[in-house]
């Protein structure tokens, strides 16, 4: 090639409207030999993506959300010395993890969390993730009952983070935190074993749909996996999905994963004490409620993860998300209003499992009833449970932390609420989208009322 004598650049120096130019230096032939590019290129390379499952990373992080009470001193707010001793020990174990406060009655309580140790308010869903001063960790453990920290905050956090709740007190709290700190070191639960229990009262009953859309789908995945097939047991419908069969399977298999689909007990509505004692208990094939004491007689959860697709299996809320959805006085309306009278609480089954002498790792269930439209599209008949299948098989056995495993389930919320917003705008313009709005909002609220109880970082052993 001909050696250039002049070079131009796309810079303008003002005055004459022409490109800036310059004659090539006599030493130009040596110039490329003095400016090798490789090191410059590595400097410009962006950092590798963060593994969002690694809660120990400072770019991901783990932290605690606790309630702020009027009697806290400034020192307690800064040091979190008001929290139960097991929680303080856990925080110290995890590198003096950050503590954030939920402030009841504050108009920004579902938008901001307060860090007194750092002296900042941080915006939920808009702050950087991690352990920085103005960051919120990706993994968050809510410490407190739903009366202290309402379900609504957990719903909001589920939209952005991997959130779990620990509502236990005294010995039950110590049992869980002791197991968590040791990562269930002496657990006898067999990760390769799973018990799936599915009540099926026929095609006209939602239990049949839950069996097909949830339990059957998960069984198909586990039974086709050569590492898991031998240890997977399916107690399917009549003759199998009974309380006694479930208790026997748990004590015999010592499963790492338990998946149950059934109705949840919501009676008697006219006796709040009895209603609370039996809230959300699994109702078996013979319409008998599965008693927690019977399960724990010959079995300890000891590191198991339990997913229960049943009405109120996780608990109840004083303010139902579905008020006015069905005809006043209908069965659904009576259940919604009757259960709400209990106030906000965690159900007996997860409380017993997480607080046992050898506790479960986590429990996943619903605070509200679950609806058929969330399981199957009423127009296309398409099953809508792929994210649950991915959580309980594709992620859990990687193994992913339980909070991350269910991330795709909660990711559905963004598209559902976006669809609802688009439908509502169209309706405001005179469109006929009222039915679509109903479906979008019902499904979104059904999904958001599914919660994780237990620490969101728990995972099956490698």
| Residues belonging to the chain | 462
Whether omega for the bond prior to residue 268 falls within 30 degrees of 0, making it cis, is yes
Q: CA dist 384 to 7, 171, 409, Å?
A: 63, 40, 10
Dihedral of CA atoms 306, 309, 311, 313 in degrees, nearest 10, equals 10
Tokens of 378: 């009423």
Q: Which pLDDT belongs to residue 11?
A: 58
| pLDDT by residue, tens only, the chain of 462 residues | 566 677 665 655 556 556 666 777 777 666 555 555 555 455 556 778 899 999 999 999 999 999 999 999 999 999 999 999 999 999 999 999 999 999 999 999 999 999 999 999 999 999 999 999 999 999 999 999 999 999 999 999 999 999 999 999 999 999 999 999 999 999 999 999 999 999 999 988 999 999 999 999 999 999 999 999 999 999 999 999 999 999 999 999 999 999 999 999 999 999 999 999 999 999 999 999 999 999 999 999 999 999 999 999 999 999 999 988 888 999 999 999 999 999 999 999 999 999 999 999 999 999 998 899 999 998 999 999 999 999 999 999 999 999 999 999 999 999 999 999 999 999 999 999 999 999 999 999 999 999 999 999 999 998
Whole-structure pTM value: 0.90
Q: Which pLDDT belongs to residue 17?
A: 58
């Amino acid at each position: 090639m001909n050696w250039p004598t002049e070079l131009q650049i796309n810079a303008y120096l003002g005055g004459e409207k022409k490109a800036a130019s310059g004659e090539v230096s006599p030493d130009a032939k040596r110039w490329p030999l003095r400016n090798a590019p490789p090191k410059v290129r590595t400097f410009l390379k962006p950092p590798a993506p963060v593994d969002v499952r690694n809660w120990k990373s400072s770019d991901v992080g783990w932290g605690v959300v606790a309630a702020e009470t009027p009697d806290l001193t400034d020192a307690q707010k800064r040091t979190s010395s008001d929290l139960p001793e097991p929680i303080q020990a856990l925080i110290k174990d995890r590198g003096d993890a950050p503590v954030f406060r939920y402030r009841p009655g504050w108009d920004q309580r579902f938008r901001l969390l307060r860090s007194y140790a750092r002296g900042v308010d941080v915006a939920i869903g808009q702050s950087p993730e991690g352990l920085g001063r103005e960051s919120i960790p990706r993994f968050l453990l809510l410490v407190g009952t739903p009366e202290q920290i309402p379900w609504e905050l957990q719903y909001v956090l589920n939209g952005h983070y991997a959130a779990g709740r620990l509502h236990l007190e005294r010995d039950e709290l110590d049992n869980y935190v002791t197991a968590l700190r040791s990562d269930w070191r002496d657990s006898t639960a067999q990760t390769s074993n799973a018990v799936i229990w599915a009540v099926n009262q026929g095609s006209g009953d939602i239990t049949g749909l839950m069996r097909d859309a949830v339990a059957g789908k998960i069984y198909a995945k586990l039974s086709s996996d050569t590492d898991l097939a031998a240890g997977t047991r399916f107690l399917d419908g009549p003759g199998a999905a009974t309380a006694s069969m479930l208790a026997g399977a748990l004590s015999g298999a010592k499963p790492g994963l338990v998946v149950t689909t059934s109705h949840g007990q919501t009676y008697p509505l006219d006796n709040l004490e009895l209603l609370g004692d039996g809230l959300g208990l699994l109702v078996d094939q013979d319409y008998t409620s599965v008693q927690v004491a019977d399960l724990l007689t010959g079995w300890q959860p000891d590191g198991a993860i339990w997913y229960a697709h049943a009405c109120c299996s996780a608990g109840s809320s004083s303010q139902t998300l579905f008020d006015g959805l069905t005809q006043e006085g209908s069965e659904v309306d009576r259940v919604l209003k009757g259960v709400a009278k209990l106030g906000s609480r965690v159900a007996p089954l997860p409380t017993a499992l997480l607080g046992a002498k050898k506790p479960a790792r986590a429990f996943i269930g619903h605070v509200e009833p679950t609806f058929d439209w969330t399981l199957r599209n009423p127009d296309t008949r398409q099953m809508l449970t792929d994210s649950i299948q991915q959580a309980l098989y594709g992620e859990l056995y990687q193994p992913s932390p339980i909070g991350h495993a269910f991330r795709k389930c909660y990711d559905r919320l963004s598209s559902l609420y976006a669809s609802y917003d688009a439908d509502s705008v169209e309706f405001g313009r005179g469109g006929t989208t009222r039915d679509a709005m109903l479906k979008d909002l019902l499904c979104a609220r059904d999904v958001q009322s599914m919660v994780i109880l237990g620490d969101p970082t728990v995972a099956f052993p490698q």
